[in-house]
Amino acid sequence: MESKEEKRIEKAKQVFESAKEKFEPKSVIRVDLPEDELPTSWYNINADLHKCGMKTPFPTGPGLAILPKIFPPSLLAQELSHDRWIKIPDELLEYYKIWRPTPLHRAKRLEEFLKTPCRIYYKQEYVSPPGSHKPNTAIAQAYFNKKDGYEGLATETGAGQWGSALSFSGALTGLKVDVFMVRVSYYQKPGRRVLMESWGARCVPSPSVPPERVYPDMATEFAKKVLEKDPDSPGSLGIAISEAIEHALKKPYPINYSLGSVLNHVLMHQTIIGLEAKKQFELIDEYPDVLFGCTGGGSNYSGFTFPFTQDKLDGKKPDLRFVAAEAESCPRYTKPKYIGYDYGDTAGMTPMIWMYTLGHDFVPPRIHAGGLRYHGNAPQLCTLVYKKVHEVVAIPQTEIFQAGQILSQTEGFLSAPETLHAWAALIREARRCKETGEKKVLALNDSGHGWLDVRGYDEFLKKKLEVA
């Protein structure tokens, strides 16, 4: 006898199969996956990375000793694992189902505007409740911390997307969340703070001291030190990370630290994006020629591209291209200070990580893409760029908002300034293909919406952008 659940799955499979038959790859606008097609494992590129000629570089230095004090055992095990597939617990899949699978969309009106022969698709990660890809790892990190017995998480946030995602995940799983938000963004994007507080989190500008720091138990020695040197410090992700780690190490209650990007386990949680996208392309009998994403710490771009990278590393798709877009004013890949070991934070508390870096004391310019102002990048992605499996382009701020205007007036939505870097890179390629007549399939990860970033759009329209 078939159970009710088995019948439901069977029915979903039939719908999936008949939808597959009906799809005309050239005419489809939106590709939805049935809920039962949600991937049940993450892809861990540690198992395959060596095929590019280099293994994932291991962190080093005295900072290694703090890892067990700020991360739960289950996440540390994932960080070091070389298993290709890591199972997503059923309970966590139920959380994912709140907004996943996310749609894959064809940007036909953009294609027509650009008069490009390319077919353009984008994955809509902005449909999550906090508005970005970040909850894919936030909810996983909250889930595993709770399971391992912790009561709260401390973290940093740039533009506020990561802090929002962790606050949302804390609300769902019953964890307290303390957020150190880069000072310039705290004042540029007040809506983000309100979102975090609505989800029950505490959010303070970083760096700051009381009374600006309204929760005295969140005061840190490092913020005091930075402000003594530079009272007007706009802050940076590196400074905010140091503050969040100091707070987590003080353990005002059983609290851990949570990082929104860079680490192996974070990138792995994000592979749910690319795994879904692969199934969606299969559904319409397409396979991308070039994949695009923006990179701050490397998580959304890697999550989208790593499942496809596996095909390239295995020799199945030798011509497949991957293009990561970074901010021209924070050019760790295109103009690195050096390639090698550096700290992940400004105070030098973290282990040293192998990466392309602008130096851990880099204070980035006040661009609107707060999430792309990090000095380094994920070691797994750095390895792929170093070995020339992935490419990187740097985009100036004016060009991203030009892309934003094109996008909002063709596809209709406002993307986050971070995401617009990817769109600008894709538009460059679509225009190049218009000249050469190449009919490529271009695919992009839309990592977040820009509804709380309208100040950047406004300054662009008024020709008042501080940084070009």
Ligand X SMILES: Cc1ncc(COP(=O)(O)O)c(C=O)c1O
Binding site for ligand X (CB under 6 A): 132, 158-159, 161-162, 261, 294-301, 371-372, 416, 418-419, 447-448
In the bound state with ligand X, the residue whose beta carbon lies nearer, of 125 and 289, is 125
In terms of phi and psi (left: phi > 0; alpha: psi -120 to 50; beta: otherwise), the region of 235 is: left
- d(CA 280, CA 122) in angstroms, rounded, equals 11
In the complex, least distance from residue 264 CB atom to ligand X, rounded to whole angstroms = 13
In the complex, least distance from residue 112 CB atom to ligand X, rounded to whole angstroms = 26
In the complex, least distance from residue 208 CB atom to ligand X, rounded to whole angstroms = 20
φ/ψ of residue 122, rounded to 5: -140, 145
Structure-block tokens of residue 52: 């590019």
In the complex, least distance from residue 369 CB atom to ligand X, rounded to whole angstroms = 8
Burial of 316 (0-12, 13-18, 19+ CB in 10 A): exposed
**Strand 338-343, strand 255-257: pairing:** unpaired
In the bound state with ligand X, the residue whose beta carbon lies nearer, of 286 and 328, is 328
CB 302 within 8 A of CB 266: no
In the complex, least distance from residue 324 CB atom to ligand X, rounded to whole angstroms = 9
In the complex, least distance from residue 373 CB atom to ligand X, rounded to whole angstroms = 9
**Is 425 strand, coil or helix?**
helix
In the complex, least distance from residue 3 CB atom to ligand X, rounded to whole angstroms = 40
- d(CA 2, CA 96) in angstroms, rounded, equals 26
In the bound state with ligand X, the residue whose beta carbon lies nearer, of 132 and 145, is 132
Structure-block tokens of residue 259: 């990082």
φ/ψ of residue 71, rounded to 5: -120, 145
Contacts of 133 (CB under 8 A, 6+ apart): 125, 270, 273, 299, 300, 303, 445, 447, 448
- d(CA 273, CA 127) in angstroms, rounded, equals 12
In the complex, least distance from residue 124 CB atom to ligand X, rounded to whole angstroms = 12
- d(CA 456, CA 466) in angstroms, rounded, equals 10
In the bound state with ligand X, the residue whose beta carbon lies nearer, of 25 and 103, is 103
In the complex, least distance from residue 295 CB atom to ligand X, rounded to whole angstroms = 5
HSE value, Cβ hemisphere, 13 Å, CA-based, for 69: 14
Structure-block tokens of residue 84: 């290709």
In the complex, least distance from residue 420 CB atom to ligand X, rounded to whole angstroms = 10
**Is 160 strand, coil or helix?**
coil
Q: Edge-to-edge, what's the strand order for the sheet holding 152-157?
A: 202-206, 176-182, 152-157, 255-257
In the complex, least distance from residue 298 CB atom to ligand X, rounded to whole angstroms = 5
In the bound state with ligand X, the residue whose beta carbon lies nearer, of 102 and 299, is 299
In the bound state with ligand X, the residue whose beta carbon lies nearer, of 152 and 298, is 298
Burial of 226 (0-12, 13-18, 19+ CB in 10 A): buried
C-alpha distances in angstroms, 61 versus 13, 23, 341, 346, 348? 50, 53, 9, 15, 10
In the bound state with ligand X, the residue whose beta carbon lies nearer, of 283 and 400, is 400
Residue nearest to ligand X according to CB distances in the complex: 371
In the bound state with ligand X, the residue whose beta carbon lies nearer, of 158 and 456, is 158
In the bound state with ligand X, the residue whose beta carbon lies nearer, of 104 and 372, is 372
In the complex, least distance from residue 364 CB atom to ligand X, rounded to whole angstroms = 13
In the bound state with ligand X, the residue whose beta carbon lies nearer, of 143 and 301, is 301
- d(CA 286, CA 395) in angstroms, rounded, equals 28
C-alpha distances in angstroms, 201 versus 48, 130, 207, 318? 38, 13, 18, 46
In the bound state with ligand X, the residue whose beta carbon lies nearer, of 289 and 418, is 418
CB 127 within 8 A of CB 103: yes
In the bound state with ligand X, the residue whose beta carbon lies nearer, of 28 and 422, is 422
